[in-house]
Structure 1
Amino acid sequence: MTQHTPVGVLLVNLGTPDAPTSKAVRTYLAEFLHDKRVVDLSRWIWCPVLHGVILRVRPPKVAKLYQSIWTEQGSPLLAIGKQQQQSLQQKLNEANISASVELAMTYGNPSIAAGMQALSHCKKVIVLPLYPQFSSATTASVFDRVARFAKHQWVLPEITFVRDYYDHPLYIKALAESVKNNWQTNGRGDVLLMSFHGIPKRYATNGDPYPEQCEITAKLLAEALNLNDSEWKMTYQSIFGREEWLSPFTDKTMEQLGNQGKSVDVICPGFSADCLETLEEIEEENKTTFLNAGGKNFNYIPCLNNDAAHIDALFDVVKAKLD
């Protein structure tokens, strides 16, 4: 397939602080938690709480968590994102598709505005949020920021937006292959636990399709691995605040499985790259919870990251939007 007109591809993930310091984390959290898609409370109620309490108390604690996963290349999410960008660029080049791939973050750097500006020479831009499952709190925020950038431009490219790819065959295949490869190396546990990022239950009640899409992803992965109902579970992680969130919760399920003396394999299918929520929350915090409860063996299966099968899936998602 040959594409002569330059096409832009903007890969977008959630974001990361510039450094594992209280100051950098405070700046990042301020932008993240100011987004009405993330916290939709009245600004009269939320802003005093955010600035008076959260941004005073949380940054030092969160900075320590980031310090535990920070690498020589910096934030894992950003480092892996750059690898994904380069690999997808190479894949498009090999297919003789004239394209420019940029990486952006919804919050922090590199920004969506900077990514869109870098693709200003393209007549068409495909925006690909790296969230397989759609949620108003993640995917829709990407759309908001692309629209905010476009609002101030005299000339706009054709903008195509990838809403989701939760049931894409190559995405499911990549997940299944990652599990099988991990089992070959580390052995297989009693239960495969699929942990997705949680959202308030109210969001789903208001029509957010996220939980339904997570359930479909989990069932398709279980089918691809030929698992029966007793061999896998689906849970939600990263719960905060006082309102009701989607359940069952990952940490509570870990405790239950530990009490039963099980061995567990954990995968996070909703995360396209390893980050704080997988490397610290799952591989450190939840592992400790599981083992302290009496669990036998805990095995974290990394995100798809820069795996070739993952890049094949992203390439297929992009290619479908070229026509």
Structure 2
Amino acid sequence: MAKKGILLVNLGTPDTPSTADVRRYLDEFLMDPRVIDVNPALRTFLVKAVIVPFRAPKSAKLYKEIWSDTTGSPLKHYSILQRDALQQRLGDGYMVELAMRYQNPSIESALDNLKNALVESILVIPMFPQYASASTGSVYEKVMRLMKEWPTPPPVSFINSFYDDDLMIKTFADNALKYNPGSYDHILFSFHGLPQRQLIKADHTHSWCLKVNDCCQTINDKNKFCYSAQSYHTAKLIAAELNIPKEKYTVCFQSRLGSDPWVQPYTSEVIAQLAKEGKKRLLVFCPAFVADCLETVYEVTEEYGAEFRHLGGEEVQLVESLNDSPTFIDALERMVRRNSSLDQFQPVA
């Protein structure tokens, strides 16, 4: 009996925390034209001559801080656990593969495994709750570029986003309960940043993003595919699940690169302002990530924690990501079963 193929795709991680492997990872990641969406010649110069040579040794030191001798990269470790748990839930009628958009296991190798198993269809789940061209869009493009070379590709479909999935929201909320959110002075929902120009490009109306004040605060038909609007809505839903009043939380964005303006407010500036206001204890969610990684475990806990304490604060507590929570596996299982009927699939052109 033919199986249905499921492909989970996360962003990626170096194979090891060595400078050489980090350099290889950063080079593949930053050379993606959806990530640094500038003139190809300029992108090549920036990545090859400026960013990677200086960033790789520094990033390698940070990866060493979070690397486990037994499980390696936390992002890859939790991604494997997610794959295995989903496979167990779905049973023998499905074949679940894991891939990273950059580095290993590669999308190409995962697709080859599905092809060799003669699966009857493929459902791709980019593991990014909020849609962005630089993440989900890049996965779309890579999968389709590879599969169009297949002589007889099976039907394929994609999960576009799951920023409002109630089980995902519940998982983040449940993870926070053990910290007693009401005991913190303020709560941050810190999402991965994007250059502002990428949000503007995503506004197909050409009349919403630049002309409407606070255009991302409420999601609607005009901005329903906007990364920032989806992020704000995710935060709103988690806050509602935990009964956190609007005045007690802030949505912000981290991990800037380069000098161009990125989505604001910046997490570092929000933290500085909260310290100035006399806030002492912060609870931080990172709802753009389904697995803990460098941006959560180190950037929030270590870098922002040190910065906040230096400015007079006392504690920055990270709420763990979805990781291998059974409730999140419930969410993935439901996505698969809802989207596994053949009428949901489209043939590869």
Name the TM tier (shorter chain).
over 0.9
Match of 1:135 among 110, 132, 137: 132
**Aligned equivalent of 1:18:** 15
**Aligned equivalent of 1:89:** 87
User: What CA distance in whole angstroms lies between the structure 1 residues aligned with 2:129 and 2:200?
Assistant: 20
Match of 2:315 among 282, 297, 307: 297
User: Which ranges of structure 1 fall in alignment gaps of 5 or more residues?
Assistant: none
TM-score, length basis structure 1: 0.94
Match of 1:230 among 240, 247, 261: 247
Give matches, 1:128-277, under 5 Å.
128-183=125-180, 188-207=183-202, 209-262=226-279, 263-277=281-295
Structure 1 counterpart of 2:253, which letter?
Answer: Y
Structure 2 counterpart of 1:299, which letter?
Answer: Q
Structure 2 counterpart of 1:288, which letter?
Answer: A
Q: Deviations over 1:231-284 (max 9, x none)?
A: 211110001111111111111111222222321101101100001111111111
Shift in Å, 1:55: 2.5
Match status 1:98 vs 2:93: yes
Q: Using the aligned pairs only, state the percent identity.
A: 40
Shift in Å, 1:53: 2.1
**Aligned equivalent of 1:119:** 114
Give matches, 1:50-69, under 5 Å.
50-69=47-66
Shift in Å, 1:49: 2.4
**Aligned equivalent of 2:333:** 315
Shift in Å, 1:306: 0.5
User: What CA distance in whole angstroms lies between the structure 1 residues aligned with 2:244 and 2:302?
Assistant: 26
User: What CA distance in whole angstroms lies between the structure 2 residues aligned with 1:54 and 1:238?
Assistant: 14
Residue 103 of structure 1 aligns to a residue whose secondary structure is strand
TM-score, length basis structure 2: 0.87
Contact 1:175 / 1:221 at 8 angstroms: preserved in 2?
yes
Q: Deviations over 1:36-63 (max 9, x none)?
A: 0001111122212221222222111111
Q: Which moved more, 1:106-115 or 1:151-160?
A: 151-160
Q: Which moved more, 1:36-45 or 1:169-178?
A: 169-178
User: What CA distance in whole angstroms lies between the structure 1 residues aligned with 2:45 and 2:256?
Assistant: 21
Residue 218 of structure 1 aligns to a residue whose secondary structure is helix
RMSD across aligned C-alpha pairs, in angstroms? 1.4
Match of 1:282 among 277, 282, 300: 300
Question: How many pairs does the alignment contain?
Answer: 315
- Kindly report structure 1 stretches of 4+ aligned residues shifted beyond 6 Å: none
**Aligned equivalent of 1:37:** 34
User: Which ranges of structure 2 fall in alignment gaps of 5 or more residues?
Assistant: 204-225, 342-349
Shift in Å, 1:5: 4.0
Contact 1:166 / 1:213 at 8 angstroms: preserved in 2?
yes
